[in-house]
Every structure is written in structure tokens, then in C-alpha cells.
Amino acid sequence: MHLDPFELHRPASVEEVVSLSGRLAGQFDYLAGGTDLLPNYKMHLNLRPHLVALEDVPELRGHSLDRLGAMERLADVEQDRGLAAAYPPIGDAVREVATPLVRSSGTVGGNLLVETRCFFFNQSYFWRESLGFCLKADGDRCHVVPQKKKCYATFSGDLAPALMAVEAEVEVAGGEGRRRFPVERLYDVGGDGIHRTTLRPGELLVAVHLPVHSRSRPGAYLKLRVRPSYDFPELGVAASGTMDGTRVQRLRLAIGGAEMAPRRYDAMTDRLVGETLSADRLAAFALEMERSVRPVHNTFLLPDYRKRMVSVYVRRAIERVQAGGAK
């Protein structure tokens, strides 16, 4: 497999990026760490003639307890023990991404906007051509749910649920200026595996902002996958919250790796506020959560199993909140 030629652009500021993206409308991809994009390009998945590399843009760098630059390397975030202590789900999630080698290139923004995955999509050109191309690349049908004209590719980032659980916001820049909104609104819950974000054409992810109010709040991110490294999530559950004794004061729960977009389940967790979470009540809640998640058969583990694991992982993540984040 080889990379087809593309034109590489190296803008040095957010403003330059925005102006380039306007000029190259629809004909480019952003290149962050490249650990996801370049393998996909080698498989000839949705090639664009231009790549806009973001590594020379200083504003996209840096991390602190307040802010994660979109181009900050996952390995650098991972090494910040203070950050992991302040936001346990982030510390858990960043450690669980792929492998140390991938994390040394992979970025915060790249993980948030990682391409959705499906075993009919993440295949070579030869493989896809021999079966018949799918909706998500070069074709017009879905091999997972053939009766639907919709893409079921799975959202496979680890950071998104963790950031949702700690109630982080994203900052984006585009032709119409900058916007800042909660991470969960970055993903288009009404979309599908292709139309998956609410970003406007050409909009650039600049940074993640971490709120003070959730700092040092107990929580966890738990990742289901076949092997303890390397693999993408087959399910990722993040929880963050505060307890008033045994009673729930505030609870945020987000799930990724199971459907086309990561989601936070405020309506369900808000119902727990003020309740004492006995083991039975927690088990019942976890089952309710399990019922509301619908994985399809497009990853390695069977969907029934992934669904069943929702309740186990939800229960365990909330138990970590109850335990005050103690491991």
C-alpha cells in the first residue's frame, strides 16, 4: 500500500488555517498526528488532494488544568499527573488510547474528531472493491444494516466521553469567527457515521476548555476492548460526579465506542440526584442504561456482548465516583 500524492500546507496561525480552509473548501483534510488519517489514506479512504498540517500553529499547543490545545500530543497530556488527578476520567482515557507510539504522535483534537470505524470501512481498496463499496466511502449501501441508507460506523475515540463527563467545552474557529460550546454538542446525535459533527465546513478545533467546577471531582473512564492496548474502544464509559454522603449530588455519564456518536445521558442521571444509590438501585440504573444503547455488528466484539457490558461498565464507573475516585 502506498500514499497517493497530495499537496501539503503548513499554516502558522489559526487565521491562516481559516483562510486556507475557505480557499480549499471541501478539498482538504486537517492533518494532526496522522495516526488515523494516514492509514486511512493508504487504504484510499476518502482521499482529498490537500492536507492542511496543523503542527506549526502555536495556539493549538499547550495544556494546563484549564485548557488542552487541540494539537497537544496525547503522550504529553498523559504525563501530566496533576491533570489526571484533577480530572480522573481524562487521565484514564488518555492512557488508554492505542499504544505509547501512537500517543506520541496522536493529538487531543485528533482523538476527538477521529474517523468513525466499521469493519466494512476500515479495509483496503481491494477488500472494499471486491465486496462492493459502502456508503461511507465510494459506494451507496450499508453492509451492516443493508435495509437502511444510513451509515452505522462507530465513534471510536476515548477522550470524548471523558471530556463530556467533566463537562468540558470546545473552542472552534471558522470563517464566521470563534465559537465555544459543550463537548457533547460537537457531535451530531441526529447524524450518522458519516455526518457526525456539528462543525461548519472548514471549522477548526482550537482547544478544549476544562471547567473549574468539575475539577477534582471523582470519576473514571473505563474502556472495553479485546486487548489491553492497541485496540480501539468497543465501549467506553466515563462518569464524573459528586456525592453527598451516599446521595447523588451531581452525576455526569457519557458513553462512546458503542454507537455512531458519543453521548452524555443527563436526563437519566439527573433523575438520580438526591437518591441514595444502593447496590440494587445502581444495578437497576445500569440496566436502564444498557437498554438505551444500541451497538451494531461492525466491530470485533459481538453487539449483544457490547450491550451487556454497558451495565457492567456503567455500574463500575459510578462505583468509582462513589468511592471518591479511589482506584
Please name the residue that has the C-alpha cell 444500541. 294
32, HSE (Cβ side, Cα atoms, 13 Å) = 26
Q: How far is the CB of 185 from another protein (least distance, A)?
A: 31
Q: How far is the CB of 101 from another protein (least distance, A)?
A: 13
Q: Which is nearer to another protein, 199 or 312 (CB)?
A: 312
- Asked if 229 is part of the footprint of another protein (rule: CB under 8 A), the reply reads yes
Number of residues lying near another protein (CB under 8 A):
25
Q: How far is the CB of 188 from another protein (least distance, A)?
A: 27
Q: Which is nearer to another protein, 33 or 202 (CB)?
A: 33
- Asked if 323 is part of the footprint of another protein (rule: CB under 8 A), the reply reads no
For residue 31, give the nearest of 44, 21, 23 by alpha carbon. 21
Q: How far is the CB of 86 from another protein (least distance, A)?
A: 27
- Asked if 284 is part of the footprint of another protein (rule: CB under 8 A), the reply reads no
- Asked if 228 is part of the footprint of another protein (rule: CB under 8 A), the reply reads yes
324 grid coordinates: 471518591
Question: How many residues does the structure list for the chain?
Answer: 327
Q: How far is the CB of 299 from another protein (least distance, A)?
A: 9
Please name the residue that has the C-alpha cell 440526584. 273
- Asked if 81 is part of the footprint of another protein (rule: CB under 8 A), the reply reads no
Report 127-156 residues binding another protein (CB under 8 A). Answer: 127, 129-131
Q: Which of 72, 76, 171, 231 binds another protein (CB under 8 A)?
A: 231
Report 301-320 residues binding another protein (CB under 8 A). Answer: 301-302, 304-305, 308-309, 312
Q: Which is nearer to another protein, 30 or 232 (CB)?
A: 232
- Asked if 227 is part of the footprint of another protein (rule: CB under 8 A), the reply reads yes
**Sheet with 177-182, edge to edge strand ranges:** 67-69, 204-209, 169-174, 177-182
For residue 220, give the nearest of 262, 278, 162 by alpha carbon. 162
The count of other CB atoms within 10 Å of the CB of residue 269 is: 22
Instruction: Look at residue 300 and give its three-state secondary structure.
Output: coil
Interface stretch with another protein, choices 126-134, 153-161, 187-195, 199-207 (CB under 8 A): 126-134
**189 and 291 in contact (C-beta within 8 Å)?**
no
Instruction: Look at residue 255 and give its three-state secondary structure.
Output: strand
Q: Which is nearer to another protein, 61 or 306 (CB)?
A: 306
| Strand segments (E) across the chain | 7-9, 28-31, 50-53, 67-69, 169-174, 177-182, 204-209, 219-224, 235-244, 247-256, 263-264
Q: How far is the CB of 229 from another protein (least distance, A)?
A: 5
Q: Which is nearer to another protein, 104 or 123 (CB)?
A: 123
Work out the angle between the directed axes of helices 303-322 and 279-292 (0-180°, nearest 10): 140
Instruction: Look at residue 82 and give its three-state secondary structure.
Output: helix
- From residue 305, alpha-carbon distances to 121, 145, 157, 179, 310 in Å are 22, 18, 20, 39, 9
Q: Which is nearer to another protein, 205 or 224 (CB)?
A: 224
244: β partners: 247
- Burial of 250-264, coded b for 16+ CB within 10 Å and e otherwise, reads bbbbbbbbbbbbbbb
Interface stretch with another protein, choices 64-72, 125-133, 157-165, 181-189 (CB under 8 A): 125-133
- Asked if 65 is part of the footprint of another protein (rule: CB under 8 A), the reply reads no
Q: How far is the CB of 23 from another protein (least distance, A)?
A: 28
Q: Which residues bind another protein (CB under 8 A)?
A: 1-2, 119, 123-124, 126-127, 129-131, 224, 226-231, 300-302, 304-305, 308-309, 312
